[in-house]
Amino acid sequence: MKVDTVNINPGNVTEQVMFEDSFGGTQTGSPENFTSEISIGNEICWQAIPRDAQTGDTVTIDKITYEADTNILGVTELLCNCQGHVAGNALHGTEGDEQEYGVYFTVTRGTEPPVQFFIDPKLKIHNTTP
């Protein structure tokens, strides 16, 4: 997940976030419509970086939450590890099942107080074997 840390605010989150994944998925359109196509057994790791690394800003993923549809990850909440990433495993579902999940992430700009944001993309089972 890449975040425009310079321009993001609570009113424009969807315009300032870009998703891509290691499974070949790249965002076209709104990040809330971004769907990672995964297989049962895949480990999913969420990480975020500033779109412009030269700003010195930081972005951390605080937690991932189950929002709707099939609970592919098998839990309602995954918490951040100490490096600002969140990881989980695709445990449940059959081909075509989707899960809407929430990403809570924090942007810290220089000496300003950290600000938490939320966005909700999707996971989709495309194959039941990794």
Average pLDDT on 90-95 reads 90
Assessment of whether the complete model's pTM goes beyond 0.85 = yes
DSSP 40-72: TT-EEEE--EESSGGG--EEEEEEEEEEEE--T
Confidence of residue 129 (pLDDT cuts 50, 70, 90): low
Nearest to 76 by CA among 97, 98, 96, 102: 102
How much is the pLDDT for 36? 87
Q: Give tens-digit pLDDT for 51-70.
A: 999 999 999 999 999 988 88
Confidence of residue 130 (pLDDT cuts 50, 70, 90): low
Q: Give tens-digit pLDDT for 3-54.
A: 999 999 999 999 999 998 887 777 788 888 888 888 999 999 999 999 999 9
Nearest to 72 by CA among 47, 50, 44, 51: 44
Phi, psi of 46 (to 5 degrees): -100, 130
